Amino acid sequence: MTPIKSRTIDRAENEVTSFTVMFNLLEQKVVLGGLSQATLLNYGRCIARISLHYGKATIHLDSEQINGFLQGLLTGERPSKSYFKYTVYGLRFLYRAHGLEDQMIKLPSIKSESKLPVVLSHEECKRLFKAGKILKHRVLLSLIYSAGLRKQEVCDLRISDVDMVRMMIHIRQTKYNKDRYVPLSKKMIIGLKKYLEAYMPKDYLFNGKTRGTKYSAHGVQWAMREATKRAGISKAVTLHSLRHSYAAHLLEYGMNIDTLRKLLGHKHLNTTLIYLHVARLGGSEAFSPFDRLYAKD
């Protein structure tokens, strides 16, 4: 696994006694468990922040200190339910790695949410892809939608992974450490060729500030936020909404659910089935009885 880069983790390693030993064991368990680098980065950041907050390695903190930190995530100046959730997940994994199962019992439970994904309409997608400030952003967002990519997948994409002859994209070692291929759109090839000629990226398809380095996840998210504002889209969309829209639109165009599962790289079909609730499928479509109530008046 490539060494992860995080200022927060680096700070904790330099400032907190025994943090490095604790983190190294966590990294080992992540690798042996076949989890992704993104998982290690998320867990590592959360644990590093707790360690820095108290000036002590997380495994040496008592339950009162841990719960006090978690409470602050929900009631502080910038409360974050998502960060709270990932911190609890990270703590569970850390305690399991260190054989501290008793500590896991004292952690709060995470209630599962049954929110449906936010999906953009076809018209909103067109507006969004035109709204990017620069060609790089327009191609970036269009590619994410056109191939149903996750945030980290587009950051890790190399120029050699895009086969314009076979019209396929090779996505390597993703969420479940499995490779997959997805079709490359004919129209997308036109934009990619213009982008490659104009920016001449090296190695990675989308370079960061330094040529040859990968574009950061924060940079991709920023491009999405700016394009959403410029396109006048009021829905609560995130970068992942492009992947949701890809899935819903393919179902609307008639793709079967198992083929969609494979394209998305889902391990279980149940994960893919949620898109049946948001796609506008043919046949007997849902409607409001209010429309029929006055139909003959």
pLDDT tens-digit readout, 165-209: 999 999 987 766 689 999 999 999 999 999 999 999 999 999 999
Place of tokens 């969004």: 128
Residues 126 and 68 in one domain: no
Least confident of 89-98, 224-233, 266-275, 282-291: 282-291
Read off the pLDDT of each residue in 23-33 and give the average, rounded to a whole number. Answer: 88
Residues 63 and 13 in one domain: yes
Measured CA to CA, the distance from residue 258 to residue 240 in angstroms comes to 20
- pLDDT over 80 at 14, yes or no: yes
The tens digit of pLDDT for each residue in 44-91 reads 999 999 999 999 999 999 988 998 998 888 887 777 777 888 899 999
Question: Based on the structure, what is the number of domains in the chain?
Answer: 2
For residues 162 and 96, state if they share a domain: no
**Residue 201 and residue 211: Cα distance in Å, rounded?**
6
114 within a domain of the structure (yes/no) = no
Give every strand in the sheet of 168-171, ordered side by side.
Answer: 162-163, 168-171, 180-183
What is the average per-residue pLDDT within 202-225? 94
Q: With a cut of 90, say whether residue 223 has pLDDT above it.
A: yes
Handedness of CA 237, 242, 247, 250 (dihedral sign): positive
State the pTM of this model: 0.68
Query: Which of 194, 215, 239 lies at the terminal end of a domain, its last residue?
Result: 239
Percent of the chain predicted with pLDDT > 70: 90
Q: Could you give the residue numbers annotated as active site?
A: 150, 175, 240, 243, 266, 275
Q: How far apart are CA 97 and CA 27, in angstroms?
A: 9
Percent of the chain predicted with pLDDT > 90: 59
Indicate the residue among 239, 273, 288 that finishes a domain. Answer: 239
Which long-range contacts link 30-34 to residues 24+ away (Cβ below 8 Å)?
30/1, 30/93, 31/1, 34/176, 34/177
Q: What value does the mean pLDDT take over residues 266-294? A: 74
* CATH number for position 152: 1.10.443.10
pLDDT, mean over the chain: 88
The answer, yes or no, to whether residue 111 has pLDDT greater than 80, is: no
Q: What is the pLDDT of residue 221?
A: 94
The amino acid at residue 99 is G
DSSP state of 114: -
In this model, does residue 286 exceed pLDDT 80? no
Domain of residue 206: give its range. 122-239
pLDDT confidence tier of residue 33, bands split at 50, 70 and 90? confident
The arithmetic mean of pLDDT across residues 87-113, rounded, is: 82
- Coil, strand or helix at 162: strand
Instruction: Measure Cα distances from 229 to 142, 234, 242, 269 in Å.
Output: 16, 8, 15, 34
Write the CATH number for 16: 1.10.150
Show which of 61, 77, 105 is a domain's final residue. Answer: 105
Confidence (pLDDT) at 285: 57
